[in-house]
Structure 1
Amino acid sequence: MEKILIVDDSPLQAAHLKDILGDEYDITVAQTPEDGLYQASTDTFSLILLDVVMPGMDGFTLLKKLQEEIITQSVPVILITSLSDVESEQKGLILGAVDYIVKPFHELIVKARVNTHIKLYNYRKQIEYQSKTDQLTGVANRRQHDLCSVTRWKEATRLKVPFSVCMFDIDRFKLYNDTFGHPAGDKVIAAVAKEVSSYFKRSTDFFARYGGEEFVAFLMGDDSEKAFEHLKKIRQAVENLHIPHNPSVSEWVTISIGGVTIIPKEDSSYDFYLKIADAMLYDAKKFGRNQVVWADENIKQMREK
């Protein structure tokens, strides 16, 4: 059930709105602007109904604060007010409200506008999800990687914590496609992505399909030894899927992994270390594939085999 936040200092009006919408939506009521901001920042809502005239912080000020919060700035806000002048309506729309409902409101109008904006919100979320998700595997795509890497790199720099970047590649994938066909190859990519992504579940982990049979991931907080050991487990887990390969080169489908762990500094570049991870991946293949090659904080190389 979709969740709606009502911010209104009038218990009577809030109760009336809840009666109108409560059968179709999960309603939360905040009777002060401060509580409204707290609720909006700590829970997930599909729509906010916001009274304009409230003591202390008015609805326009609260709307501005909601638009400044990364967590809430994408949530649609409908202003509810007795102010019917054009200037007030214009001010609300400029500040980011998606609609205006003037009191006294009609039940059918409230339902229609709420339904419309929740549908638009869900449609926009679906479009955003698709634009950041690889359609074959369901994991993040390269576009999402490019966006997320900037944010996480800055965070690791600010916190002065270890940051590990790694590149994966399915070994001898062209030969697999030539042997079993591209539909089978797509299934292998999806199976590998599903298995590997299960090892990146922390909020600070990230995993994406980089292109073709290549993947990229990063982790925060682990030193080089811990990251190296974790990636060795991932490499082994893929081999343990026991997906048959062309027997002339390998019994099972395997992956090679290259990575690097650093503590980012203000003048350091994520792209530079991504290239180092790619160089470690190249070495993993050069040394025989199906292995992890890692560069520690001093760019000293560690090999699995």
Structure 2
Amino acid sequence: MKYRVLVIDDDKMTHLVVKNLLGDDYQILQAFDTQEAVNILAEEKVNLILSDIHMPGVDGLEFLESMMADSEKRNIPVLIMTGQPTVEKEKAALNLGAADFIRKEQFKTERDQILELVQAKLVTTIEMELPAHLQFNKKEFVKRLMDEVHMGDFFQVARRLSEMSLNIFDIDHIYFWTIHQGDPRMVHAMGVKELHQYGPDDLLPEPTYKTFLKEKKPYVCNHAFGDDDKGIFKEDSKKLNLPAEIGIPLYKLTDKQFLKAGRKIPPGTDLFAYIVLKRNKLFSTKEFKLITSLYVQAGTILWRMYQKI
């Protein structure tokens, strides 16, 4: 089934432009005022909303404010559109919880960028029940990631992804390797200064890395320096009191391919990166699921960017 994009605008031409751009890949639902949008949302599952700011009655910003207060609808990403952009409007929309802000002229002048923005927003939507602090962390992570994707290349975005994880998810150390035919290549390592900056030759003999290459799936370990458990570089992890570790695969799958596959990784998909997060605070199951989901989904954007190097 195609993902459903709800377009809210009293201007028929805007509906036509959006449908021409997105209609081949997504099912477009049309509302000409916010009450009609509410009626559609009550009956249909919607994956993304594109809403104009200026409409009769309840305008786009008022609708957005109400959406963010609705416990069932607040997780639907909302892209605010306007034909008369201002810094004040953009700040107001983002402060109210908009996923992003689009100038209507971009539908004609920056078609590829709009397509990539829509794909990225759909890819990074997490549909799971989360405690309030994790829900906030998720939104903050996604918002900052989207800001970086607009501006950077693969290496810049990968680095900012790690920097954000250190702060948002209370991570102590991160390793980021790309993988070429099983051989790891260090992109960066950051966090605990005392942790040795291990290179590819150090990682290759690690049993956990060998298992990771075979299984191609995320893992969590809350005793990462135990003899019988997963975890890389156990000696340093124990010395620096870092018992918790998450290992995350990034796959050779673009965000567009990921969406077409129903937001699932097709069996047999090759790996292109290995991420290791270490900290001295144990990982709950919900944290593990949230962090790995965000990374795997962000990884589809990174793979698209990596291919442009």
TM-score w.r.t. length of structure 2:
0.39
TM-score w.r.t. length of structure 1:
0.40
